[in-house]
Amino acid sequence: MVQYIIIAALLTGSIGLMLLVIGSIFSAVVALGNKQHLFGWSVFLCFPLSLVYCAMNWDKASYSGKMVYSGASLLTITAIILKFGEVI
């Protein structure tokens, strides 16, 4: 049973991490393209700031925001699977 929990956590975690990283890079590029250099470079340095940027500028960064928020939710689901599956 633990094997299936680990496989599910590995799949959701890897997809979630990929979506979060790629979405953060996209939101940094959008921020730099919209002349918001402080947000653009800070998102490159700290990926979780893309959550804040996408929430504040949803009209400009909706495409990257969908990736960032879905990746963050998948990582949250991964943490819940690992916690309640008694793997951690």
21 touches 47 (CB < 8 A): yes
- Tell me the average pLDDT across 32-44: 93
DSSP 81: H
**Region of 17 on the Ramachandran plot (φ > 0 left; ψ -120 to 50 alpha; else beta):** alpha
Range of the structural domain that residue 57 is part of: 2-84
- Tell me the average pLDDT across 27-56: 93
- In the structure encoding, which two tokens stand for residue 9, read together? 């956590």
Per-residue pLDDT of 44-88, as tens digits, reads 999 889 999 999 999 999 999 999 999 999 999 999 988 887 776
Could you tell me the pTM of the whole model?
Answer: 0.88
Burial of 28 (C-beta count, 10 Å sphere; 0-12/13-18/19+) = buried
Q: At what angle do helices 37-45 and 2-33 cross, to 10 degrees?
A: 150
58 touches 65 (CB < 8 A): yes
Residue 27 CA to residue 17 CA, distance in Å, equals 15
Number of domains in the chain: 1
Q: Above 80 in pLDDT, residue 13?
A: yes
